[in-house]
Chains A and B, each alone.
Chain A
Amino acid sequence: MTPSQYLNCFLAVQAREWQRFWQQRTRFASALVRPLLWLLVFAAGFRAVLGISIIAPYQTYITYETYIVPGLCGMIVLFNSMQGALSMVYDRELGSMRVLLMSPLPRPFLLITKLLAMGLVAIGQVYVFLLIARLIDVETPAWGYLAVLPALMLTALMLGALGLLIATWVKQLENFAGVMNFVIFPMFFLSSALYPLWKMQEASPWLYWLCQVNPFTHAVETIRFALYLQWNTEAYAITAGVSLVLATLATAAFRPQRTRILGTRR
């Protein structure tokens, strides 16, 4: 297969994902309600409770809304990637997965292309969210919107691959409610998305340790630093490393017979 054939395949998967997005734009719009509730209601309520000290990458005191925006960007990608990965294995995407897997291109390439395509649609939602955040005065440097793109893509790949791995191999978590309770919520709450980790360290060293080993923490920090045009080598390296490992595992371990792609699951 030639490079142009790989490119045509990549573009076709992207095009289909955006066509579906356009068909289901009301569903995608309603998915924005969740992070906006956090930003407009939760953050307003907790603003007075949680004082934020000056921590990198911020150079001054910030509002709580400003603090949680990167975490909410991560949350949008987290929900979308998990939901997308599950749909590849169990429901809406089964037909398209059958067609996808009949392509003569290598299966790992096809799966990663699919995960990235779903991730890019989620990233589109992140940008709409950032635009709304800007309207309520959560401003980031203009170039930050561009600088954050690679961080968001890495996060989408990491979480999509994790979702695919879980959906393929953990039979008990074959519905979204299960994944929400046992994967999404623990990952989200045990991270720096809603509170800086020094606060968690004061509360419980154990919880702090769990937050530190949670790759979502590092994904959120990658997004946070990139939004403010700063480079967090540690967070980037961990997010990239975990993405690479999970993407390799998820694609190498993918077995259609462990999904509903063939009709029934064994």
Chain B
Amino acid sequence: MTLTARNLSFRYGRQPVLSEVSFELAPGGFHALLGPNGAGKSTLFGLLTRLLAIQCGDVLLDGRSLKRHPAAALRQLGVVFQQNALDLDLTVRQNLMYHAGLHGLSLRQARRLCDQELERFGLLARAGDAVRLLNGGHRRRVEIARALLHQPSLLLLDEPTVGLDVPSRQALNQHVRSLCRDRGLTVLWATHLIEEVDSNDPVLILHRGQLLANGEGHALCQAEGTATLAETFQALTGETTS
């Protein structure tokens, strides 16, 4: 699925948060959205997921406007939020079944897809456990499994590794990359951690609500005359990355 953001601007009251942001995500690619805290990443996610109403510009999914066809767009969208969106007291399966129902799936369909996703993520044995009993890495995996339950073609992840230790961060990052390769999923991975981005990844750099760069990591380095993406980021934003 192709996602196109066209001239997206957003303001809270009089305070502008995003200004004329345009980009396109190619089908089946792992795209990194890089920006420091406060760059506008979560606002951009709010717009892409329709949690925030679009004030200016538009978002197109395979050419269809999110504003005009929100239901069709949301059916194609899987989202992992920065903050935990799992119910800790409920079991893994109950959390997934809730999501499946919200997408209109019948109990039978929901059970089948739930088992399928949990097996794929190596979590089927934990299906009956309360989420509270899982470690941070497994909780994130459950969130990704849930986001993929209704079989979307686009997965948006807003700083999914926040709060995880380094090995869990790396494992999660590799896992999502494998989803792109194996399932042709289009992924937008927002982060402020530059080590989560490969030099071959298409990269969007967002800073103070403006899209400063859009291209493959190594091409951006070449254009800026820098050796690493971290240096490119610093040259463009004047800020260091974590």
- Interface membership of chain B positions 68-90, coded 1 if the CB is closer than 8 angstroms to chain A and 0 otherwise: 00111111010101111111011
Q: List CB contacts (< 8 Å) of A80-128 with chain B.
A: 94-96, 98-106, 110
B167 in contact (CB, < 8 A)? no
**Max count, chain A CB within 10 A of own CB: residue among B42, B71, B84, B85:** B85
- Interface membership of chain A positions 198-223, coded 1 if the CB is closer than 8 angstroms to chain B and 0 otherwise: 00000000000000000000000000
- Partner of A16 from the list B12, B46, B94, B104 (CB cut-off 8 Å) is B94
**Cβ contact within 8 Å between A103 and B74:** yes
Q: List CB contacts (< 8 Å) of B107-140 with chain A.
A: 107
CA distance A101 to B75 in the complex (A): 12
**Cβ contact within 8 Å between B106 and A96:** no
What is the interface size of chain A, counting residues whose CB is below 8 A from a CB of the partner? 36
A13-B101, A15-B101, A256-B46 known; A104+B71 contact, CB < 8 A = yes
**Cβ contact within 8 Å between A20 and B75:** no
A interface secondary structure, majority: helix
CA distance A241 to B98 in the complex (A): 32
**Max count, chain A CB within 10 A of own CB: residue among B83, B85, B101:** B101
B180 in contact (CB, < 8 A)? no
CA distance A48 to B101 in the complex (A): 53
A175 in contact (CB, < 8 A)? no
CA distance A233 to B138 in the complex (A): 55
B164 in contact (CB, < 8 A)? no
Chain B nearest CB, measured from A258 CB (Å): 10
Residue of chain A at shortest CB distance from B52: A257
CA distance A2 to B71 in the complex (A): 12
**Cβ contact within 8 Å between B98 and A12:** yes
**Cβ contact within 8 Å between A12 and B51:** no
Chain A nearest CB, measured from B10 CB (Å): 9
Q: List CB contacts (< 8 Å) of A1-47 with chain B.
A: 1-2, 4-6, 8-9, 11-13, 15-16, 19-20, 23-24
B49 in contact (CB, < 8 A)? yes
Which residues from chain A contact B99 at a C-beta distance below 8 Å? Answer: 99
B103 in contact (CB, < 8 A)? yes
Chain A nearest CB, measured from B205 CB (Å): 21
A72 in contact (CB, < 8 A)? no
Residue of chain B at shortest CB distance from A3: B104
**Cβ contact within 8 Å between B51 and A256:** yes
CA distance A121 to B141 in the complex (A): 31
In order of increasing CB-CB distance, the 5 nearest A-B pairs are: A12-B101, A5-B104, A103-B102, A95-B85, A104-B74
